[in-house]
Copies of this chain bind each other. A is one copy, B any other.
Amino acid sequence: MSDDATAFVPGHITGFFSAHPDDDPAVAGSRGAGLTLSHGVTVTVEPAAESVVCLDGEVVEMPPVADVLQRLGVSATVRAESELPLGAGFGVSGAMALGTALAANSVFGCARSENELVTVAHEAEVRAGTGLGDVVAQARGGMPIRVEPGAPAYGRMDGIPARPRVEYVAFGGLSTAEILSGDTTTLTAAGEAALGELRTEPTLERFVAESRQFARDADLLTERVEAALEDVRDGGGDGSMAMLGETVFAVGTGLSDAGYDPESCRVHAAGATLQRE
Tell me whether chain A's interface is mostly helix, strand or loop, or mixed: loop
Inter-subunit contact A112/B161 (CB<8 Å): yes
Chain B CB within 8 A of A145 CB: yes
Q: Are A145 and B277 in contact (CB under 8 A)?
A: no
- Asked if A25 is an interface residue, CB under 8 A from chain B, the answer is no
A106 to B160, CA, bound (A): 11
Shortest Cβ distance from A238 into chain B, in angstroms?
A: 15
The segment from A44-52, A60-68, A86-94, A268-276 that touches chain B is A268-276
Q: Is the pair A161, B202 in contact by a Cβ cutoff of 8 Å?
A: no
Q: Mark A247-277, 1 if CB is under 8 A from B, else 0.
A: 0000000000000000000000111011011
In contact, A161 and B117 (Cβ under 8 angstroms): yes
A181 interface residue, CB < 8 Å from B? no
Q: A15 CB to closest chain B CB, in angstroms?
A: 15
Whether A106 lies near B270 (C-beta < 8 A) is: no
Q: Which of B115, B199, B273 meets A269, CB within 8 Å?
A: B273
Chain B nearest Cβ from A138, distance in angstroms:
13
Interface residues on A, range: 20 to 34
How distant is the Cα of A199 from the Cα of B115 in the complex, in angstroms?
11
Nearest-Cβ distance from residue A72 to partner chain B, whole angstroms: 12
Q: Are A158 and B115 in contact (CB under 8 A)?
A: yes
Asked if A161 contacts B270 (CB within 8 A), the reply is no
Contacts of A115 in B (CB 8 A): 158-159
Question: Are B203 and A111 touching (Cβ within 8 A)?
Answer: yes
Residue contact B114 to A163, C-beta cutoff 8 Å: no
Q: With both chains docked as a complex, state the minimum distance between the C-beta of A102 and any C-beta of chain B, in angstroms.
A: 6
Which B residues touch A112, using CB under 8 A?
A: 161, 202
Q: Is A152 an interface residue (CB 8 A)?
A: yes
Q: A141 — nearest CB in chain B belongs to which residue?
A: B270
Q: Is residue A105 within 8 Å, beta carbon to beta carbon, of the partner chain?
A: yes
- Nearest residue in B to A273 (C-beta to C-beta)? B269
Cβ distance A140 to chain B, nearest Cβ, rounded Å: 9
Q: State the CA gap A160–B116 with chains docked (Å).
A: 10
Name A's B-contacting residues (CB within 8 A).
102, 105-106, 109, 111-117, 141-142, 145, 152, 158-164, 199, 201-203, 269-271, 273-274, 276-277
> Can you show 19 pairs from A to B with CB atoms below 8 A apart?
A106-B161, A109-B203, A111-B201, A111-B203, A112-B161, A113-B159, A113-B199, A114-B160, A114-B202, A116-B202, A117-B161, A141-B271, A142-B273, A162-B277, A163-B273, A163-B277, A164-B277, A269-B270, A269-B273
